[in-house]
Amino acid sequence: MNTNSLRSRLERRRTELARALRAPETFLRASVFTRTRRCGGATCRCAKGKGHTTAYLATNHPGGKTEQISLPPDLVPEARRWVAAYRRWWHSAEKISAINLELFRRRWIEPRKLAATRRKT
């Protein structure tokens, strides 16, 4: 494959991905998971059965702190949709980054001209 053709393909693909990358308002960098626990009540159904299942939303904050929020059952599907939307968005951003790296690797990036109004020091 000739280099101009490859460069054009990479640039077209990058443009397509960037157009599709528009972030939805409803996305969340987090995980949804469930835990089953026993409450400890001797007469509770969980003492002999499966236990109580609770869904949680976990997210990491800067500095490494993790936050977990318990979710009522009716919010679990919505939380899963938001997390999935973030993962799709992130996956597209990673593809664009890989294309840009290849363009730099092959030296196919044109340097931007400095603005004429910018003073040289």
Is the pLDDT score of 106 beyond 90? no
Q: Output phi, psi for 36, to 5 deg.
A: -115, 130
Question: What is this structure's pTM?
Answer: 0.71
pLDDT of residue 91: 93
pLDDT digits (tens, 9 = 90+) for 79-91: 999 999 999 999 9
Domain boundaries, the chain: 3-105
Give residue for tokens 């899963």. Answer: 80
Q: How far apart are CA 107 and CA 34, in angstroms?
A: 48
Contact 17, 92 (CB under 8 A): yes
pLDDT of 115 higher than 70: no
- The separation between CA 74 and the C-alpha centre of its own chain, rounded to angstroms, equals 23
Give CA–CA dist 121/6, Å, rounded.
Answer: 39
